[in-house]
A and B are shown apart, each in its own frame.
Chain A
Amino acid sequence: MVMSSAQIKAVAARSVRGVIRQPQAWVPSLAFPLFFTALSSAAFEKTRAIPGFPEVSSFVAFLLAATILQGVMFGSTSAGTDVAIDIESGFFDRFLASPISRLSLVFGRLAGTVLLAAMQALLFTVILMCFGATMRGGISGLAVTLLVAGFLGGAVGAFAVTVGLHTGSVEAVNGFFPIFFALVFLSSAFFPPQISGGWFEVVASINPLSTMVDGMRHLHIVGWDFAKAASAVVVSAVLFFVFVGTSLVALSARIKK
């Protein structure tokens, strides 16, 4: 079965349209991270004076990576939710019955998700830069940020698609929401773990999201650094490919049913 780029485009377009037409699905994933960032930066601005806090021009600058991470994590589950809705409504079967390639089904959706995640990251960067965030790594720093956001969005989307394909239940997909929530909070996203210390520092240090955040943050507040950039890209890419793999396995299981 050949997978054509036109097919991927058609499915991607459908998933992008689906997102745009359901403002209740994406407005929170824009508004909530921004509000949380506004709140945290006003609450914790003074903590920059605590010894051990990284050299940074403002708390907003420190939070840029966190804002992107949070927005992308929450925004990208909609791909999986959509798959589950399609399965529940029987739309998925119609797709399967059409000559469209099975792979296009998954890749089309993920392409849409990756695109939306990168756009979201760009939007957050622009907005936060108006309020004091920096992009010391320049254009290449921005490019890496968008790349990481895209991979991460794709990874989360693929994970959600996996769950959606396995269960066919919207509720099951949404049920993972608190787990994503926990993962973001238990990383270095919102506060430097070395200041918090204790169990938190340990947990944050083994959380792969921390590697991504630290890499991006370095490009935002310090400057270009190939090793930091590479570590963020590699981790997000690995997550992406692992979950794309699981989603393909889930797809073939669903087709055999």
Chain B
Amino acid sequence: MMLSIVGIAGRGVIRTIRMPSVLIQSVFFPTFFFVIYIGLYAGVITLGGFGTSSIENWYVPFMMLQGASFAGIGVGFSTSLDISNGFFDRLMMSPVSRIAILVGSIFGGLLRALFVSTVVLAVGLIFGARPTSGIMGFFWLYTAVVGMCLASSCWALGLVYRFKDQRIAPLFPIGVFMALFTSTAQVPLNVSTGWLQTIAQRNPVTEVLGLARQSFMDVGVTSAETIDGLIALLLIVLSLGAFAWSGLRRYLG
């Protein structure tokens, strides 16, 4: 089982290395948007209530999660490619356990997510973001990175397994984009207004962002924030995991 997971994941890694344009894209967008956002909305921070007075601190964790999420849907793209060229059938015909197929596919995306988010973090530090809470902060930040990557891969895979059609692919980023941006991605709850505030209050991504942002907030890591964030993260990952898993079970239909 372990070996087959490594085998399937290894293929994802080989793919990433041999198609660098994909990796470049998934690094480019979050870093690019980070730089744009900290310039464009630099003045917004003066409204207060962000938990930090540095716009760089505010946006770094979000952009890392965004990069990780988009790296995750890459798994959906490559699986839909595998389905269309028949390679996925080969996996399904092998005696490898179905869970290994799922986990192995996601693993490739996870490595990419870690790489992308670390590049974003480095760019953030270069542009002046300053971590506030040491190792624990980073630990929870990367927990959120891994979780969001898992969640978005499962989202994309659940769709791919069900529809077996590349035309479904545009839905991957749309779903991720919607989920991320209707949270506290851009501004905290007390700054947002109207429908966004209403949705962001209930969007579990808000809690996950809370977990991730502890590393760069003035107050640092608090157990309340950590627990809320972990519960939300678990909720997201488990429900989307179930979505992907049931899709895979239905694949043979």
Q: Which single residue of chain B is at the shortest CB-CB distance from A59?
A: B193
**Contact at B44–A47, with CB atoms within 8 Å?**
yes
Q: B32-65 interface mask toward A, CB cutoff 8 Å, 1 = contact, 0 = none?
A: 1000100111111011000000000000000000
Tell which of A87-95, A135-143, A193-201, A211-219 binds the partner: A193-201
Q: Does B194 contact A (CB under 8 A)?
A: yes
The reply to whether A196 and B192 contact each other, CB–CB distance below 8 Å, is: no
Write out the residue numbers on chain B whose beta carbons fall within 8 Å of the beta carbon of A182: 32, 36
B191 engages A42 (CB within 8 Å): no
CB–CB A185/B43 < 8 A: no
Q: Within 8 Å of chain B (Cβ to Cβ): is A24?
A: yes
A176-217 vs B: 1/0 string, CB under 8 Å?
A: 001000100110001110011111100100000000000000
Assess whether B181 is interfacial by the CB under 8 Å rule. yes
Q: Does B243 contact A (CB under 8 A)?
A: no
The answer to whether A47 and B196 touch (CB under 8 A), given A182-B32, A186-B36, is no
Question: Size class of A's contact patch?
Answer: 20 to 34
In chain B, positions 96-138 with a C-beta closer than 8 Å to chain A are none
A139-190 contacts to B (CB < 8 Å): 178, 182, 185-186, 190
**Inter-subunit contact A50/B47 (CB<8 Å):** yes
A191 → chain B closest CB, angstroms? 5
B interface, over-half SS: helix
A42 adjacent to B196 (CB under 8 Å): yes
Kindly identify which residue among A40, A43, A195, A200 contacts B191, using a CB–CB cutoff of 8 Å: A43
Assign chain B's interface to a size class: 20 to 34
Contact B194 A196 (CB under 8 A): no
> In the complex, A192 Cα to B46 Cα: how many Å?
14
Q: Could you tell me if A191 and B43 are in contact, using CB atoms closer than 8 angstroms? A: yes
CB of B226 within 8 Å of the partner chain: no
Known contacts A182-B36, A185-B36; A43 and B43 CB within 8 A of each other: no
Do B181 and A196 touch across chains, with their CB atoms under 8 A apart? no
Identify A46's interface contact among B29, B41, B191, CB under 8 A.
Answer: B191
Residues of B within 8 Å of A192, CB to CB, are 43
Determine the chain B residues whose CB is within 8 A of the CB of A49 once the complex forms: 47
A42 contacts B195, CB within 8 Å? Answer: yes
Contact with B along A2-42 (1 / 0, CB 8 A): 00000000000000000000001000000000000011101
Chain B residues within 8 Å of A195, by CB: 42-43
Residues A24 and B44 in contact in the complex (CB < 8 Å), given A43-B196, A182-B32: no
Residue A241 is within 8 A (CB to CB) of chain B in the complex: no
Q: Identify whether the interface residues of A are mostly helix, strand, loop, or mixed.
A: helix
Cβ–Cβ < 8 Å partners of B36 in chain A = 182, 185-186
Q: Which parts of A117-135 form the interface with B (CB within 8 Å)?
A: none
Complex contact A197–B43 (CB within 8 A): yes
Taking each of B43, B46, B191, B197, which has the highest tally of chain A beta carbons within 10 Å of its own beta carbon? Answer: B43
Q: Return chain A residues, CB-CB under 8 Å to B41.
A: 44, 191, 196
Most buried by B among A42, A185, A199: A42
For A198, what are the chain B residues with a Cβ–Cβ distance below 8 Å? Answer: 39, 42
Is A45 an interface residue when CB atoms closer than 8 A count as contact? Answer: yes
Give A196 to B194 CA distance when docked, in angstroms: 24
The answer, yes or no, to whether B66 is at the interface (CB within 8 Å) is no
Contacting pair A46 B32 (CB below 8 A) = no
Q: Are B40 and A191 in contact (CB under 8 A)?
A: yes
Within 8 Å of chain A (Cβ to Cβ): is B86? no
Also in contact, A43 and B39, with CB within 8 A (given A24-B170, A50-B47, A178-B28): no
Q: Which residues of A contact B39 (CB under 8 A)?
A: 186, 196, 198-200, 203
Given the known inter-chain contacts A43-B192, A46-B47, please indicate yes or no for A200 contacting B28, CB distance below 8 A.
no
Beta-carbon nearest neighbor of B193 in chain A: A45
The CA of A43 and the CA of B41, in the complex, are separated in Å by: 11
Residue numbers in B under 8 Å from A44 (CB-CB): 41, 44, 186-187
Besides A44-B187, A45-B194, A195-B42, 7 more A-B contacts (Cβ < 8 Å) are A24-B170, A42-B192, A43-B191, A191-B44, A192-B43, A196-B40, A196-B43
Q: List 30 A-B contacts (CB under 8 A).
A: A38-B195, A39-B182, A39-B186, A39-B196, A42-B196, A43-B186, A43-B191, A43-B193, A44-B44, A46-B47, A46-B193, A47-B44, A49-B47, A50-B43, A52-B43, A178-B28, A182-B32, A185-B36, A186-B39, A191-B43, A191-B44, A192-B43, A196-B39, A196-B41, A196-B42, A198-B42, A200-B39, A200-B40, A200-B42, A203-B39
Contact surface of B with A, Cβ cutoff 8 Å: 28-29, 32, 36, 39-44, 46-47, 170, 181-182, 186-187, 191-197
